[in-house]
Structure 1
Amino acid sequence: MQIYYHKIIATALFCGLFSGTINAEATDIKNGDSSTLFSTVVNPRIPSKVTFAGQTVDLDRVDLFERLDRELTSMAYTHGNTLLTIKRANRYFPKLIPILKKNGVPEDLIYLACIESTLNPRAYSPAKAAGLWQFIPSTGKEYGLEVNEFVDERYHPEKATQAACRYLKNALAKYGNWESVAASYNAGMARISKELDAQKSKSAYDLYLNDETSRYIFRLIAMKLIMENPKAYGYRISSDQLHTPVRTTTVEVNGPVEDWTAWAKSHGISYLTLRDFNPWIRAKSLPNKTGKTYRVEIPLADDMLRSTSKTHVYNPAWVVD
């Protein structure tokens, strides 16, 4: 019983102190002095024009300015996801951007993967979209990816990027501009084609669409602006905080694998490491009745330790040191 009364007294004292603090803060605000209560919030500067995929977008138009303002403000202060995307980019941009270039896709389209998955190769959405580029199963298969219970190449960073290039080039042939291509990546080609025809327009910038798709192209631009110069938006990242690239050796598998765990152990790695570096493996076995050749990545031991791996900064603008 004594303990009970002590709790009541402690609660009363706390409430009194808390109430006093609130009253004091309310008085400060009423008197116009909130400098000690809140951190300074800086609105991101919106440029007069931006360039995306080689095209200059003039933001003198009120609606375009405000649409970018919304996305840049939101993304700049979504610290966790934005930070992770920048740090992961140090590992994935060196692999993915050369694939875009080889296929004639502008480098800026890499920001599709950034906003789709925050560059998490194991990303999976409620709509059953998977991987860095967030393909749903039917679209993945349509653009050449194997998708089944044993192998799902939507989770294969390089193969999924190649499939994304095929989609993007197909869409460009249809629309002739990258903003409409980007909108179609979000809403589907059928929807964007229908709206372009119905609204007598040639560009997704001029379309009235659902909120998510209307925002999509400006999310890409906002991500580009931040990742080109994170320091301008308050991000302070040191080189040792970036996710380092990990070199691998490749082992070809052209037959069935009864047990991937045993296979991994026989190649000097754990099953965890096997799945981390080959997220396209989706089960503990591989029937492979057709004798297809799969390339399995095995990480180099030195690169698996921070103390022995080599620091590599893909873009010096990302770091402060």
Structure 2
Amino acid sequence: MKRRIAAIFNIAAGVVLGIFIAGQFGFTNDENGFLKRITGKDDREAVQFHAPPHPTEISFAGEKVPLERWDVKERFDRELLFNYYNQANILYLLKLANRYFPIISERLQVNGIPDDFKYLCVAESNLLSGARSSVGAGGYWQFMKSTAPNYRLTVNDQVDERSDLIKSTDAACQYIKAAYEKFGSWTAAAASYNMGQGGYNGQVSFQGTKYYYDLQLPEETNRYLFRILTFKYLMANAASLGFVLKDDEKYNTIPTQSIMVNTNIPNLAEWAQARGTTYKMLRQLNPWLYGRSLNTDGKTYEIKLPAP
């Protein structure tokens, strides 16, 4: 009898708990009307999803995107739907962007590259220094280990400058500028960043046009530019699209001091402790450091430490 009563009690408790959880995770109308709760004939509530609004026009690096074309509009729509409803990722990117965009924008400006290319960095790595692709591309701008030295990036067992934001951004600018000079279009330069200048040029030669929106390209590159455009649209219009962060919820620039090092450091943990910090903090502030020691090989490195 006690077992029967206990079973009935457990069932009843489960029902009550289920109703409570469903209520907690239910959706209500938001100010944009993309998600709302509706009531059916039987008074049960269901969630209704709406597509986010499209921009009437959008450009990349000052070059107009022909959204009046159905194929272009639908490709943009696909990336917009997938990324708009990945709210956690967009919010996280907005937090990171507050820390990294000022640095990236400054380097783009110095190198004469349009500011919109900061969204290419988002598409490449989600602004994560340790991002690695399945084929071995790494860092903020996803350089391959074999090609990084061509852009003055050191990659070895102790140092990986693909994870140095300033140096890797300057390297990306070098590539982008060369691609723009070759194809005469920032859009084409961005596409070639994904498939290589040789790959893009081969398609141009075969199909008889340099215009990105008229080229049949590999699916990854077909989607690539529209992912960049989507990040631009969502991040530049975050608040009006429902992605709201308070200032104290964003990640701020970390105060640091810099030390120039041109001699070998046999033990980075001891070196960090002697300067009032830890090996963990050293690695966090300098994600390009990979080993337990540092052989400079005649180079000078800027190492960041916590501000005093």
Q: So what's the TM-score if we normalise by structure 2? A: 0.86
Measured at CA, do residues 30 and 91 of structure 1 come closer, stay the same or move farther in structure 2, by a change above 3 Å? closer
Matched, 1:44 2:36: no
Alignment of 1:123-202 (within 5 A): 123-202=131-210
In structure 2, which of residues 231, 248, 262 is the aligned counterpart of residue 240 of structure 1? 248
Stretches of structure 1 that go unaligned for 5 or more consecutive residues are 21-27, 302-321
Alignment of 1:248-259 (within 5 A): 248-259=256-267
Measured at CA, do residues 190 and 13 of structure 1 come closer, stay the same or move farther in structure 2, by a change above 3 Å? same
Note the aligned Cα RMSD (angstroms). Answer: 2.5
Q: Which amino acid aligns with 2:75?
A: R
For 1:17 and 1:176, locate their aligned partners in 2 and report how far apart those are by CA, in whole Å.
64
Alignment: residue pair count = 291
In structure 2, which of residues 295, 300, 304 is the aligned counterpart of residue 297 of structure 1? 304
In structure 1, which of residues 208, 212, 218 is the aligned counterpart of residue 226 of structure 2? 218
* Conserved 8 A contact 1:116-1:134: yes
For 1:276 and 1:46, locate their aligned partners in 2 and report how far apart those are by CA, in whole Å.
39
Matched, 1:113 2:113: no
> SS of the residue aligned with 2:116?
helix
For 2:201 and 2:143, locate their aligned partners in 1 and report how far apart those are by CA, in whole Å.
20
Q: Which amino acid aligns with 1:37?
A: A
Q: Which amino acid aligns with 1:208?
A: Q
* Conserved 8 A contact 2:154-2:160: yes
Instruction: Report the more deviating stretch, 221-230 or 5-14.
Output: 5-14
* Conserved 8 A contact 1:199-1:207: yes
Q: CA deviation at 1:190?
A: 1.7
> SS of the residue aligned with 1:137?
coil
Measured at CA, do residues 17 and 253 of structure 1 come closer, stay the same or move farther in structure 2, by a change above 3 Å? closer
Match of 1:78 in 2: 86
Stretches of structure 2 that go unaligned for 5 or more consecutive residues are 20-37
For 2:281 and 2:16, locate their aligned partners in 1 and report how far apart those are by CA, in whole Å.
52
Instruction: Report the more deviating stretch, 217-226 or 134-143.
Output: 134-143
Q: Which amino acid aligns with 1:125?
A: S
For 2:9 and 2:120, locate their aligned partners in 1 and report how far apart those are by CA, in whole Å.
54
What CA deviation, in whole Å up to 9, does each residue of 1:139-188 have, x standing for no partner?
21221100111111001000000000001011111111112111111122
For 1:137 and 1:126, locate their aligned partners in 2 and report how far apart those are by CA, in whole Å.
13
* Conserved 8 A contact 1:277-1:298: yes
For 1:90 and 1:29, locate their aligned partners in 2 and report how far apart those are by CA, in whole Å.
40
Measured at CA, do residues 32 and 278 of structure 1 come closer, stay the same or move farther in structure 2, by a change above 3 Å? same
Q: Which amino acid aligns with 1:264?
A: A
For 1:188 and 1:240, locate their aligned partners in 2 and report how far apart those are by CA, in whole Å.
40
Matched, 1:276 2:270: no
Identity among equivalent positions (%) equals 37
